[in-house]
């Protein structure tokens, strides 16, 4: 079941980000809009699009979240491998994505402090500007 879901999620997430998916969605909206006068803009006519879009949105949330989780895990694995492979890499950074927000904030502050005391001050200023953009 899990493998089937992952395959489905990957295919749907990949397809939904392409122009034909947008064209299909736009086509459905246009058809719905054009049929408004035929159905006298009734409550049922409005309910059809509301229900349809709600169902599609609800399902897409789970599929897209699955794809993002998989992508995030792949990126973390790649970054961990880069850290491990570097001669001067700091292996203690491997797996820090599992730490709490408070622990990550302490690490970030320590790295900033390290940049200030041991590094080029202009480099620290660049890091500060980057963090402030969040």
Residue 127 has pLDDT above 70, yes or no: no
Cα–Cα separations (whole angstroms), residue 43 to 50, 56, 77: 10, 20, 51
Residue 115 has pLDDT above 80, yes or no: no
Neighbours of 67 (CB within 10 A): 19
pLDDT at 119: 59
pLDDT at 40: 94
Contact of 99 with 91, CB cutoff 8 Å = no
Residue 31 has pLDDT above 80, yes or no: yes
pLDDT at 134: 58
Query: Could you tell me the pLDDT band of residue 120, with boundaries at 50, 70 and 90?
Result: low
Q: What pTM value is reported for the model?
A: 0.61
């Amino acid at each position: 079941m899990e493998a089937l879901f992952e395959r489905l999620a990957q295919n749907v997430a990949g397809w939904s980000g392409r122009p034909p998916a947008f064209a299909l969605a736009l086509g459905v909206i246009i058809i719905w809009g054009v049929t408004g006068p035929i159905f006298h803009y009734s409550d049922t006519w409005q309910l059809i699009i509301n229900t349809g879009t709600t169902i599609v949105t609800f399902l897409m949330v789970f599929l897209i979240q699955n794809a993002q989780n998989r992508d995030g895990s792949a990126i973390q694995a790649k970054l961990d491998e880069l850290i491990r492979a570097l001669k001067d890499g700091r292996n203690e950074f491997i797996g820090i994505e599992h730490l709490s927000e408070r622990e990550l904030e302490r690490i970030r502050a320590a790295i900033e402090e390290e940049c200030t005391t041991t590094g080029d001050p202009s480099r620290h200023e660049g890091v500060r500007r980057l963090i402030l953009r969040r």
